[in-house]
Amino acid sequence: MLKPSLDDLFKSSIRSVLKNKSRTLLTTLGVIIGVTSVILLTSIGNGLKIYINQQFETLGSNTVYISPGKIFSDNGGFNRSGANASTMISTSFTQKDLNNLKRNLKSSIVMPMKTASGEIKSNKVKKTVAVIGTDYLYGPNNNAAPSEGNGRWFTKEEEDKKSNVLILGYSIANDLFPSGHVLGKKIIISGKSYKVIGVNDKKGGGFGGSGLDDYIYVPLEVANNLSGNEKIQQIVVKVPDKNQIENTKQEIKTILSKYYDEDAFSVFDSAQLLNSINAIISTLTIALTGIAAISLVVGGIGIMNIMLVTVSERTREIGLRKAIGAYPRAILIQFLFEAIILSGIGGIIGIILGSLGTIAINNFFPAKVTPGSVILAFGVSFLVGIIFGVTPARKASKLSPIEALRYE
């Protein structure tokens, strides 16, 4: 009786797989597409998490936000209530609310924020931009002030005088002034002239839309003039010590509850917001990866079909080997090896393509390949080979040598 070693069977399987390279490539195509998709989607999810974490780190862990509407549900996730959306649109804060918070939160820095839009004109460039209205304290305390050599943030005096001064985001500054000479220049927003006093460093982000580098910062009253109202859309509170965050949040709720219903506003810190965003990204990544993994199943079915065809084509070979003493177990192992090799080749090519795709995507969108995603993708492709290779391998091992030798 012939007792080939596992090494001999593996080498024989490789020779059989490589005998028809075109068939091998076409057979593994489903696995390649599946693994590539899994790598790309998990990389985008990981990249998003890393980017968002970095952005929140720049703001610091001692930041509390006050926004209209009930943003978080009772279980800690984002509130999906349709009624909440209308509340957020109809509710806003006033200068009186801001002053009240400043008066009561003496150890914290309380800053307003509102978003307006305006049409900008400069150097033959015409576009609609997002304008952030805030106060003289916001930039230095939220990593939004220009670095040394790139100008400055506006002062309290300029804010009190409602001076038409502004700080440009990195991208909008390059769009308006490609030559790089920006400070002191005049630009027109919605028909009014503004002086550029600073340019922010590159922040990144935006995901193909408006990001931090496209924002323009102005004093709050200037933004009020642009928007035509004095509504404050958000209030940001910097707490001196992160250990005081919970007490500060409770104090804010107590103050605002005198003037607003409990569901009319939300008080949350950066960690709470970050956890909710990461949870959503994780859920989406798992869901999309699961959909992409369907192509791995399709690829596995393709491998099983081709292996069944291969068993039929090699029926006489199997009969001959059995006639001279080959064990059924050896036949089963060899055909199982062939299925695993096919899926393994698909997995390796898919990992390479997915990694290259991630590098390309990272130029436009945050993406990062992790060892965990590579191990997962290759492990699943390996498992596909085993699961879908069993049926053809069992069929081959159970062939009768007499009937196999008679097969035409």
Residues 28-53 have pLDDT tens digits of: 888 888 889 888 888 888 888 887 77
When pLDDT is averaged across residues 109-130 and rounded to a whole number, the result is 84
Residue 69 in any domain: the answer is no
First to last CA, the chain: 26
**8 A C-beta contact, residue 157 and residue 224:** no
Residue 287 in any domain: the answer is yes
**Whether residue 284 is found in the same domain as residue 189:** no
DSSP symbols for 15-72: HHHHHSHHHHHHHHHHHHHHHHHHHHHHHHHHHHHHHHHHHHHHH-SSEEEEEES--B
Rounded CA gap, 267 and 281, in Å?
Answer: 22
pLDDT at 86: 45
Choose one of 208, 233, 258: the last residue of a domain: 233
H helical segments located in 66-194: 82-90, 95-104, 138-141, 156-160, 170-176
Could you tell me the pLDDT band of residue 228, with boundaries at 50, 70 and 90? confident
- Asked whether the predicted pLDDT for residue 284 surpasses 90, the reply is no
Rounded CA gap, 245 and 249, in Å?
Answer: 6
Q: How many domains does the chain have?
A: 2
**Whether residue 38 is found in the same domain as residue 147:** no
Could you tell me the pLDDT band of residue 402, with boundaries at 50, 70 and 90? low
Rounded CA gap, 160 and 137, in Å?
Answer: 13
When pLDDT is averaged across residues 135-163 and rounded to a whole number, the result is 90
- Asked whether the predicted pLDDT for residue 180 surpasses 80, the reply is no
- Decide which of 68 and 211 is more confident: 68
pLDDT at 3: 66
CB atoms inside a 10 Å sphere around CB 317: 14
pLDDT at 89: 46
Residue 83 in any domain: the answer is no
Choose one of 178, 204, 233: the last residue of a domain: 233
**8 A C-beta contact, residue 13 and residue 332:** no
CB-count exposure of residue 135 (10 Å: 0-12, 13-18, 19+): buried
Residue 28 in any domain: the answer is yes
Q: Which of 106, 127, 131 is CA-nearest to residue 117?
A: 131
**Whether residue 219 is found in the same domain as residue 126:** yes
Q: Phi and psi at residue 190, in whole multiples of 5°?
A: 50, 40
- Decide which of 191 and 165 is more confident: 165
Could you tell me the pLDDT band of residue 356, with boundaries at 50, 70 and 90? very high
pLDDT at 324: 77
- Asked whether the predicted pLDDT for residue 21 surpasses 70, the reply is yes
Rounded CA gap, 311 and 328, in Å?
Answer: 14
pLDDT at 79: 62
Full domain range(s) for residue 342: 6-54+277-406
**Whether residue 361 is found in the same domain as residue 303:** yes
**8 A C-beta contact, residue 200 and residue 171:** no
Choose one of 169, 203, 233: the last residue of a domain: 233
Q: Which of 65, 112, 68, 64 is CA-nearest to residue 263?
A: 68
Residue 345 in any domain: the answer is yes
**Whether residue 226 is found in the same domain as residue 119:** yes
**Whether residue 382 is found in the same domain as residue 303:** yes
Residue 257 in any domain: the answer is no
- Asked whether the predicted pLDDT for residue 84 surpasses 80, the reply is no
**Whether residue 48 is found in the same domain as residue 134:** no
Q: What is the mean pLDDT of the chain?
A: 82
**8 A C-beta contact, residue 339 and residue 307:** yes
Query: Which range in 197-211, 250-264, 290-304 is most confidently predicted, on average pLDDT?
Result: 250-264
**Whether residue 209 is found in the same domain as residue 304:** no
pLDDT at 58: 64
pLDDT at 81: 56
When pLDDT is averaged across residues 365-379 and rounded to a whole number, the result is 84
Residue 149 in any domain: the answer is yes
Residue 249 in any domain: the answer is no
**Whether residue 28 is found in the same domain as residue 118:** no
- Residues of the chain above pLDDT 90, percent: 19
C-alpha pair distances (Å), 284 with each of 33, 271, 281, 291: 20, 20, 5, 11
Q: Phi-psi bin for 279: left (phi > 0), alpha (psi -120 to 50), beta?
A: alpha
The β-bridge partners of 188 are 121, 193
> What is residue 154's DSSP assignment?
P
**Whether residue 319 is found in the same domain as residue 372:** yes
Kindly give the pairing relationship between strand 215-219 and strand 125-134: parallel
- Decide which of 370 and 151 is more confident: 151
| pTM tops 0.75, yes or no | no
**Whether residue 349 is found in the same domain as residue 401:** yes
When pLDDT is averaged across residues 235-248 and rounded to a whole number, the result is 88
**Whether residue 209 is found in the same domain as residue 324:** no
In this predicted model, what pLDDT tens digit does every residue of 297-339 receive, in sequence order?
A: 888 888 888 888 888 877 777 778 777 777 788 888 888 888 8
